[in-house]
């Protein structure tokens, strides 16, 4: 999946934008494009890729972190978590 083919959130869909971005991030991780432990693009770049605000992106990243899809800490760029996202954990 190249950057041009990242799923784009739509304000016309009933799901919140942060949820759509979270699902897109999980799809990218599941596809293997972002390798486990690798740094993902910076917030500014992700905001541009998905066309959302920083607060929307941070909400999506926070939820991805809670489902063990991404890991992040202050002063360190977010990275893909060691454990992959699975539908069983998302419930």
Q: Determine the pLDDT at residue 13.
A: 95
Fold assignment, 3-84:
Arc Repressor Mutant, subunit A (1.10.10)
Q: Is 25 exposed, middle or buried (0-12, 13-18, 19+ CB in 10 A)?
A: buried
Report how far residue 53's alpha carbon sits from residue 66's, in angstroms, rounded to the nearest whole number: 20
Give the 3-state secondary structure of residue 77: strand
Question: Is 0.95 surpassed by the pTM of this model?
Answer: no
Q: Encoding tokens for residue 32?
A: 């293997």
* Mean pLDDT, range 65-71, rounded to an integer: 67
Per-domain boundaries in the chain: 3-84
pLDDT at 63 over 50: yes
Q: Encoding tokens for residue 76?
A: 């360190």
Report how far residue 6's alpha carbon sits from residue 25's, in angstroms, rounded to the nearest whole number: 9
Percent of the chain at pLDDT exceeding 70? 67
Report how far residue 47's alpha carbon sits from residue 91's, in angstroms, rounded to the nearest whole number: 26
Q: What is the pLDDT of residues 7-50, one digit of tens each?
A: 889 999 999 999 999 999 888 888 888 887 888 889 999 999 99
């Amino acid at each position: 999946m190249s950057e041009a083919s990242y799923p784009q959130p739509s304000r016309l869909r009933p799901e919140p934008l942060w949820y759509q971005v979270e699902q897109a991030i999980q799809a990218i991780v599941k596809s293997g494009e972002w390798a486990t432990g690798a740094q993902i693009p910076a917030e500014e770049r992700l905001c541009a890729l998905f066309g959302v605000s920083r607060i929307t992106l941070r909400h999506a990243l926070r939820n991805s972190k809670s489902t063990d899809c991404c890991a992040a800490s202050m002063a360190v760029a977010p990275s893909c978590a060691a454990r992959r996202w699975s539908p069983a954990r998302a419930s």
